Amino acid sequence: MGDVLAGSNAVWEFDADAVLIRYERGMRNSKLLQVLGQRRVPYAALSGVELAPGRRGTLVLRAVPRPGADPLMEAADGQLKEAADPYRLVLPAAREPLAEQWAEHLLTAIGALGADEDEPAPRHLVDAPAPPLSFKAYDGKASFDGHTVSFRWFWTGASTAKWRAGDQHFPVAELTGLDWRSPEALGGHLRLLPRDGGGRRPGSADDDPTAVVFGLGYGPVHESLPLAAAVLAAIQRATRSRPALEREGYSRAADVDDMSA
């Protein structure tokens, strides 16, 4: 067990090669952090550290995630509010000397790895939330079992175009990525990007069978973002597995999907 730094929204425990971040019950944090519970962040997944004054006599220590290292932050794409940022630790301002000490510790650990802080990580280094995961959107239910993303339409919200297309099932091996737009802004949705899309830019998410639409009370951040992150992580595993599997004679997407689990 490593040294511990406890804040009002999280507890950071420093080990030899990673920081374990726990979002404990009773702490002042968002529903997203409560759902995440805890995360192990290798120092290799970080590019730097920030220390700045917070609100009402607090200090904020923030580890800066390396681009491409965390599927959750990759899916969020800068849309999270401060309170939902899993890399922030809020401390009393009086603990600034201790915060500076640990900020220096993190910088030293990151620097010792010798990686270019501006270079994206070669792969995800932080685990995504584990499936199965699901949530209710305005026009359907989205679910992910670790292999396939499924959209089951609601007759009360789905457009005619989606009803005509029928319920949808997308194996991760047939996806290249996704677009998550926060439900806390206008036009919130989760849109999948199939490999056979041919680079075409889809139209409105309301009529796109590769997308579910959010709305007031539908697709909340703490439900839809973990699912999006889990799908991104699975897509990367399938993509990384594809060349090796094809060399061994697995050419069908279904074979790659099965073997990448």
| Mean pLDDT in order along the chain per 10 residues (261 residues) | 86 95 83 96 96 93 97 98 96 94 94 82 97 98 98 96 97 97 95 78 86 96 98 95 52 43 42
Fold classification of 3-112 is PH-domain like (2.30.29)
Radius of gyration of the chain (CA): 20
What long-range pairs does 156-162 form, CB within 8 A, spacing at least 24?
157/213, 159/206, 159/207, 161/206, 161/207, 161/208, 161/209, 162/207, 162/209
Q: Do 3-112 and 133-259 come out as alike in CATH topology?
A: yes
Residue 246 has a pLDDT of 53
User: Model-level pTM?
Assistant: 0.89
Q: By the 8 A CB rule, do 188 and 213 touch?
A: yes
Residue 247 has a pLDDT of 45
DSSP track, 130-171:
PSPEEEE-SSEEEEE-SSEEEEEE-TTT--HHHHHH-SEEEE
> Which residues have C-beta within 8 Å of that of residue 9, sequence separation ≥ 6?
23, 27, 28, 29, 33, 83, 88, 89, 90
How far is the C-alpha of 44 from the C-alpha of 53, rounded, in Å?
Answer: 26
Residue 243 has a pLDDT of 54
Residue 224 has a pLDDT of 98
Would you state the CATH architecture of domain 133-259? Roll (2.30)
> Which residues have C-beta within 8 Å of that of residue 42, sequence separation ≥ 6?
17, 18, 125, 126
Domain ranges of the chain: 3-112, 133-259
Work out the percent of the chain whose per-residue pLDDT is above 90.
79
Number of neighbouring beta carbons within 10 Å of residue 93: 13
Residue 261 has a pLDDT of 42
